[in-house]
Amino acid sequence: MGDPNDEARSGHRLWGSGLASVLWIGEVRESELVKALERQNSVHDRHDPARFADLVHHIVLTKEETIEVVADDFTVKRIEGSTGRAAREAFAS
């Protein structure tokens, strides 16, 4: 979660690979990030590449940030109102 914001998003490493057409949430297919995470963890003596097989790389675009999520499951709940109100409601449930 971080840079770039909407004004500099065209500088993101995935801009030319389809990010330019994403309006809010996108899925990165054949993600280099997922591959890098698997390689990074392969040094562990009990490494199991199968644990990485179901991981999906998502990108969530907001006005001020680009959020990248790597997970086997991902749910987005959109809450109307201010960020503070949305955070209180999200953490209360």
Task: Report how many domains make up the chain.
Answer: 1
Domain membership flag for residue 79: yes
For residue 92, what pLDDT is reported?
85
How far apart (Å, rounded) are the C-alpha atoms in residues 86 and 93?
Answer: 11
In a domain, 58, yes or no: yes
| Structural domain includes residue 2 | no
In a domain, 68, yes or no: yes
Per-residue pLDDT of the chain (93 residues; tens, 9 = 90+): 899 999 999 999 999 999 999 999 999 999 999 999 999 999 999 999 999 999 999 999 999 999 999 999 888 878 888 878 888 888 886
| Model pLDDT, residue 83 | 76
Is residue 1 one of the residues assigned to a domain?
Answer: no
**The residue to which tokens 């109307």 are assigned:** 80
Domain housing 40: 9-92
**Could you count the other beta carbons within 10 Å of the beta carbon of residue 55?**
17
| Residue 28 in domain | yes
CB-based burial label for 57 (10 Å; 0-12, 13-18, 19+): buried
Any domain includes 4: no
